[in-house]
Each structure stands twice: as C-alpha cells, then as structure tokens.
Amino acid sequence: MRIIYYCRHCNDKLGEMDRQQVDEGRLGLHTLTQDEAADIITYNSIENSTYVKTICEHCQEALEAHPELSLLSNPLQ
C-alpha cells in the first residue's frame, strides 16, 4: 500500500512512500484524534493507497503572510 502526501490547498503531490517500508508509528498518524484523522486521511481501496492532507511550503508561506486567506473555503486555489 502506498502513502501519498498532498497539499490540502493547492493539491500538489508532496511525496509518496511504500507503507511496507515505513513504520507507521514513526509517521505519527496514530496520535490524531478520530476527527483529525477523518479530516486528514483518506483511504482508496481501489488504488490500495492512503492519502494524507498536509500543507506545502508555498501555501504555508502564503497563509503566514496573509492569514485572512484561511477564512476562505479554498484559500490558495
């Protein structure tokens, strides 16, 4: 199974790894609350993949420079 990280704002793919080569405990996903996990993690059984929403450096910088963007539904698209 693949784990794919992508930006929640611009949808750029940030990275990918094979789940069999990674100790899931080191990823920290087990520390998320049920609500956080529901918001951040998506499973796709057809592709046998797990998608994890995060934020890229570009979008993080834009939000730090313009915090009002966080009030929009899709602030950086």
Q: Over the chain, what HEC string results? A: CEEEEEECCCCCEEEEEEHHHCCHHHHCHHHCCHHHHHHHEEEECCCCEEEEEECCHHHHHHHHHCHHHHHCCCCCC
Q: Is the pLDDT confidence value at 76 over 60?
A: no
Using pLDDT thresholds of 50, 70 and 90, give the confidence band for residue 72.
confident
Using pLDDT thresholds of 50, 70 and 90, give the confidence band for residue 68.
confident
Q: How many CB atoms lie within 10 A of CB 39?
A: 12
C-beta of residue 30 within 8 angstroms of C-beta of residue 50: no
Q: Is the pLDDT confidence value at 15 over 80?
A: yes
User: What residue spans define the domains of the chain?
Assistant: 2-71
pLDDT given at position 20: 77
pLDDT in tens, 54-67: 999 999 999 999 98
For residues 77 and 32, the model is more confident at: 32
CA distance 49 to 64: 31
